[in-house]
Amino acid sequence: MSESSGATMLEPHTPVHLSSTPHVITRGQGVTVWDADGREYLDGVAGLWCVTLGYSEPRLVEAATRQLERLPFYGSFNHRTNDVALALAEDIAEIAPIPMGRTFFANSGSEANDSAMKFAWYYHQALGRRQRRKILSHRCGYHGTTTAAASATGLSHIHAGFGAPLPGFVRVHCPDPLSPVARDLGPERFVDWLVQELEELIAEEGPETIAAFIGEPILGAGGLIIPPEGYYQRVQEVLARHDILFIADEVITGFGRTGSMFGTTEFGLRPDLVTVAKGLSSAYLPISAVLVGERVCAALAEGSREFRTFGHGFTYSGHPVAAAVARETIAILRERDIPGRVRAAGTVLANALDKFRGADGIRDVRSYGLLGAVEVDPARFGVGTGQVGPAVLEAAAAEGLLLRAMGDTLVLAPPLVSSDDELERMVDRLATAYDRFR
């Protein structure tokens, strides 16, 4: 191991002024990772919600190696592509949760979301609705950090220091069942309230100026928010009435995490475009995609007849090695019925998390599939918002557990291949860490 201080790397989502060395992970096996000092951790958050098949799936390594040896790269511009990207698009079409037009490949969730928003613009331009530019999203939504994805992201820490988001990005209330208004109104009237807010906002902005609404089926980085039942259905009715496209950001929920292959199916949504990343390749290589629905795709085709070009795409769109890994990931997800396994494992996780219910200082416990959250009330400890989460995170690391803290919400998003015993051990370690913090 070299004794690097990490001083040359500008670390993502890390204050630049920090002078301490970062925590360095050097090895992984199954759902366990080891750091540079040899300490062992259960990875309760699958890297960054993404290593769905764990850290040592030999089939993914072999798929990458075989492809590296055969054709390490060929791009996809100007009607020339590689065989693996085409085959992956076919694989995706087989399992897609919407009537498919085509699949566009990118390299990250942010790029997929930027692309989807641009496709919404192109769609409306193709239909002659040139004013339709605005993008609606949630105040607690996270869609990435490229320029448009960051602008659609509502979380304020993503904007601090970078100035205001781009104009034309408009936010709606968070569908958070724990928000004060939700608590006042109760679940059904809360959905009515959210829908009315959306209607009013659309009227105020002018429906003829709005291109699309982007939303996560379960909102991840905003604090694992599970919208109230029927919320997205009602939102979709409003959007459809105003010819506003719906983009489902399935970067977290795609590829098994909720117990279905896609959150879109799990929650009965009908998006026009679906964005995926993370679990598409179990994060072994970077690849993301936009699933472009039939109707949007038909308009893109019409548009490109008129514009004579489709000026969008990346050098690495459909990278063959990443595509080979993604193909193998999908094959494994299907062969081993990983979504089915997630449904069973989700019950194990939910039961294990029950030990937090009613415990001192716990505001809420929630889970869906292999997403789980324990929300702590900082007021109980006499500290400000956002201070408990990081402290418990540190205590958890000392107990041999890695997880995420979204403010004071501690989030588990373990690999989908975690055993029952591993899930229970993760929650036990979290409980010990919380007790130590208290």
- Chosen residue from 52, 81, 82, 110 binding ligand PLP by CB under 6 A: 110
Reduced to 3 states (helix: H, G, I; strand: E, B; else coil), residue 33 is: strand
Instruction: Please state, in angstroms and rounded to a whole number, the distance separating the CA atoms of residues 331 and 329.
Output: 5
Amino acid identity for residue 74 in this structure: Y
409 binds ligand PLP (CB under 6 A): no
Show the beta-strand stretches assigned E in 179-220.
210-215
d(CA 302, CA 279): 32
Candidate ranges 247-255, 289-297, 301-309, 369-377; the one touching ligand PLP (CB under 6 A): 247-255
* Residue of minimal Cβ distance to ligand PLP: 109
The distance between the two most distant Cα atoms of the chain, rounded to a whole number of Å, is 64
Segment near ligand PLP (CB under 6 A); pick from 17-25, 105-113, 259-267, 368-376: 105-113
Q: Sign of the C-alpha dihedral, residues 376, 377, 383, 385? A: positive
Phi-psi region of 206 (alpha: psi -120 to 50; beta: other; left: phi over 0): left
User: Which value, to the nearest 10 degrees, does the dihedral of the CA atoms of residues 260, 265, 267, 268 take?
Assistant: -160
Structure-block tokens of residue 87: 């085959």
Tokens standing for residue 325: 């890994």
What would the x/- binding string for ligand PLP be over residues 45 to 64, using CB under 6 A? ---x----------------
From 82-90, 142-150, 258-266, 329-337, span contacting ligand PLP (CB under 6 A): 142-150
Residue 110 or 329: the one with the smaller Cβ distance to ligand PLP is: 110
Which of 138, 143, 319, 404 touches ligand PLP by CB under 6 A?
Answer: 143
Residue 189 CB, nearest approach to ligand PLP (Å): 28
Given 148, 252, 296, 326, the residue binding ligand PLP (CB under 6 A)? 252
Distance CA 88, CA 317 (A): 12
Q: Does 109 bind ligand PLP (CB under 6 A)?
A: yes
Contacts of 67 (CB under 8 A, 6+ apart): 84, 320, 321, 323, 324, 325
CA 410 remoteness from chain centre = 16
Cα–Cα distance measured from residue 140 to residue 218, given in angstroms and rounded to the nearest whole number: 11
Q: Provide the minimum distance between the beta carbon of 150 and ligand PLP in the complex, in angstroms, as a whole number.
A: 10
Q: How far is the CB of 199 from ligand PLP (least distance, A)?
A: 25
Q: Residues touching ligand PLP: how many (CB under 6 A)?
A: 15
Binding mask 272-311 vs ligand PLP (x if CB under 6 A, - otherwise)?
Answer: -----x----------------------------------
Q: How many angstroms separate the CA atoms of 215 and 138, rounded?
A: 7
- The number of residues in the chain equals 438
How many Cβ atoms sit within 10 Å of the Cβ of residue 223? 23
Nearer to ligand PLP, 108 or 367 (CB): 108
236: which 2 tokens? 């979709």
| CB closer to ligand PLP, 142 vs 232 | 142
Out of 113, 151, 264, 329, point to the residue binding ligand PLP (CB under 6 A).
113
Footprint (CB under 6 A) of ligand PLP, residues 157-216: 216
Nearer to ligand PLP, 143 or 429 (CB): 143
Shortest CB 111 distance to ligand PLP, Å: 7
Residue 406: strand pairing partners: 409
221 sits near ligand PLP (criterion: CB under 6 A):
yes
Residue numbers at the binding site for ligand PLP (CB under 6 A): 48, 108-110, 113, 142-144, 216, 220-221, 249, 251-252, 277
